[in-house]
Amino acid sequence: MLEFIQTHWQEIAGTLLGFLYLFFELKAHKGMFPTGILMSLFYVGVFFSSKFFAFASINLYFIFAQAYAWWKWHKNPDQENVPLVHTTLKIWIPITIVTAALFAFLWWGLKQFPEESAVAWGDSLITTLSMVAIWMLAQHYIEQWLPLIVANAFSVYLFYSQELYFTTVLYFVYLVASFWGYVKWTKMAKGID
């Protein structure tokens, strides 16, 4: 058992921080940002060693994106009551175009590695959707949960296939919580809590 923990300590630490992040995110609480930064630090190593090269890189991006979102949310002096808004059709059109282009670019880029990831398409997909969701989170869009639902569903399958069992459990919980989070944030935007 001790050998198992020594081998998987980064994944275990990242998973525990991931649960704490989810708790804060569901409450739309600013504590999600420092927790997300720490979680991403652990997962850079976990995903790189598991050949999820894009998702390892996205965790580097998450560190900076979480810091940006934290700063953006901090600009509002009443941080716990930052207004959540719906994404308009005018915003969805460029989001969809950028998402498709980014996915294609990442997938092509991963195929250029001499030791191509066995899950390049999935790695590209979950990375793209996660990048879009973190940008939407920084803008306070309620629908940031929608790309997360798709990303989390694929993540469960992909991480299980690569024997990242703690991370699989975390992303299964994320998947379930994403549905709940979307409903909760919609109610919060209407003033119902």
- Specify the pLDDT at position 128: 94
Helix then strand count (H, E) for the chain reads 7, 0
Domain locations in the chain as residue ranges: 2-78+87-189
What tokens does 187 get? Answer: 């109610």
Most confident listed range (1-5, 95-99, 106-110, 117-121): 95-99
| DSSP classification of residue 115 | S
pLDDT tens track for 12-57? 999 999 999 989 988 878 899 999 999 999 999 888 888 888 888 8
pLDDT of residue 116: 62
Q: The pTM is what?
A: 0.81
Q: Are 186 and 142 in contact (CB under 8 A)?
A: yes
Query: Taking a C-beta distance cutoff of 8 angstroms, is the pair 31, 17 a contact?
Result: no
Phi, psi of 65 (to 5 degrees): -65, -40
Q: Is 15 exposed, middle or buried (0-12, 13-18, 19+ CB in 10 A)?
A: buried
Contact 170, 15 (CB under 8 A): yes
Q: What's phi and psi for 151, nearest 5 deg?
A: -60, -45
Do the Cβ atoms of 174 and 155 come closer than 8 Å? yes
Contact by Cβ (8 Å): 142, 150: no
